Amino acid sequence: MNCCNLALALLAAPPAFALDLDLARRYLAEAGEYCSLDGGRLWGVSLCGPILLVDPASRAVAANQPGREGRLVENQGLWTGRLPGEQMPANTALDWAGERWTMLLWPLPEHPRRRRALVLHESWHRIQDRIGLPARAAGNEHLDEFEARFWLQLEWRALRAALTGFGERRAQAAGDAVAFRRRRQTLYPKALAEEPALELNEGLAEYTGVRLSADSDSEAAGEAARRLEAAPREASFVRSFAYATGPAYGLLLDAASHGWQRRLTPADDLAELLARAMGLDGAGADVRAGLYGASELRSSEARRETERQARLARYRERLVNGPLLLLPLEKPSASFDPRELLPLPGHGTVYPKLQASDVWGVLEVSQGALLSPDWKQLAVPAPAGPAALSGDGWQLRLRPGWRLVPGARGGDFRLAREP
């Protein structure tokens, strides 16, 4: 259910768009310039390719190429169409009409550097399979727990010191970052696989955007440092942490290990690559923690943990104990904010806001849905009856051939195919 793995089918449509075609033409031309400047040097593969700009309100689409199946029509130098209602608009990469596309939500950022970083980030997702770094599922639910958040934030602080330092100061701070990471991974063994999996997906995409949107190495380092400083303000680190660590480790590796990108494999951990490249021992986490404000951080995280437990209790009552509507997942696609996710231990992950589609139709959620640990089922509060297609904080658009039937518990419902 990754927002960056959506299937898409587009239909040609008359050229009556909310999308500003003149601006779209300029942005698509800029995108061609970005990737041409890189020339495939960073990853050994060009970032240039098919791009779709999608206005989520009108579902209008403008593209820089026609595709191979004639589903888009020529319109003032662009290729246009509409996104079908059952598809999820998202910043992502997708396969359609015999092409691998980059999809970008309209409007793109007005700030040129942020726009360039977004285009390059999503363009990397389009090529990641070709360079042997496919996306892998990674829950990282531990990153909502007290100790994991504590050591992650210390790692962020040390990475920021490394990016802004030089010589011995950089080496010491980088070693501290590795030490804090290893300490966290000792406490949470699943982190050894799950954290690198997300870093080698979203982290590398973000690194690509940060590095190639900057005019100099120092500017890139400054941008990565700002992201590390802002990262603790996110509501959840579960799916967002790699947007901060990926650029930081990537830029530090640029300085320590030329060409590391070409040697990267899906089994690698960026922090361990850096430790080997710089000769870091990555020891002394508990001793070094005090230099990064550990005492104050523990106090603030203790307050946050009290609030988290209260939120968990509310969601447990709403999405586990109370009457539910259960929706099976067969071929899911979804759009959500990765900064908001809340793991519900033993039950899955709460998505506070979500738009999801599957073989049964489209579900829009505004007050929380629970995704099961195996990604096979969504749960929302039960509707008033089997004819109701909306409930507390959600709306459902069913496709023909599906209906609501009683669930296993009294008051529960589930989606089922018509007999």
Mapped to the 3 state alphabet, what secondary structure does the chain carry? CCCCECCCCCECCCCCCCCCHHHHHHHHHHHHHHHHHHCCCCCCCCCCCCEEEECCCCCEEEECCCCCCCCCEEECCEEEEECCCCCCCCCEEEEECCEEEEEEECCCCCCHHHHHHHHHHHHHHHHCCCCCCCCCCCCCHHHHCHHHHHHHHHHHHHHHHHHHCCHHHHHHHHHHHHHHHHHHHHHCCCHHHHHHHHHHHHHHHHHHHHHHHCCCHHHHHHHHHHHHHHHHHCCCCCCCCHHHHHHHHHHHHHHHCCCHHHHCCCCCCHHHHHHHHHCCCCCCHHHHHHHHCHHHHHHHHHHHHHHHHHHHHHHHHHHHHCCEEEEECCCCEEEECCCCCEEECCCEEEECCEEEEECCEEEEECCCEEECCCCCEEEEECCCCCCCCEECCEEEEECCCEEEEECCCCCCEEEEECC
Distance CA 133, CA 203 (A): 12
Asked if the model's pLDDT at residue 5 lies above 80, the reply is no
Strand-strand pairing, 51-54 and 99-105: parallel
Asked if the model's pLDDT at residue 7 lies above 80, the reply is no
- Mean pLDDT of all residues belonging to the chain: 93
Encode pLDDT of 254-271 as tens digits: 999 999 999 999 999 999
Tokens 């640990």 sit on residue: 373
Asked if the model's pLDDT at residue 406 lies above 70, the reply is yes
Split at pLDDT 50, 70, 90, the class of 17 is low
- The mean pLDDT of 215-231, rounded to a whole number, is 97
Rounded to whole angstroms, what are the CA distances from 153 to 146, 192, 221, 308, 367? 11, 17, 18, 17, 28
pTM of the model as a whole: 0.87
Asked if the model's pLDDT at residue 184 lies above 60, the reply is yes
Split at pLDDT 50, 70, 90, the class of 18 is confident
- The mean pLDDT of 341-367, rounded to a whole number, is 94
Tokens 């998505």 sit on residue: 351
- The mean pLDDT of 221-250, rounded to a whole number, is 97
Check residues 70 and 265 and name the one with the higher pLDDT. 265
Q: What is the pLDDT, as a whole number, of residue 88?
A: 78
Residues sharing a CB contact under 8 Å with residue 42, sequence separation 6 or more, in sequence order? 208, 211, 212, 261
- The mean pLDDT of 134-148, rounded to a whole number, is 94
Asked if the model's pLDDT at residue 383 lies above 60, the reply is yes
- The mean pLDDT of 195-209, rounded to a whole number, is 98
Q: What is the pLDDT, as a whole number, of residue 86?
A: 66
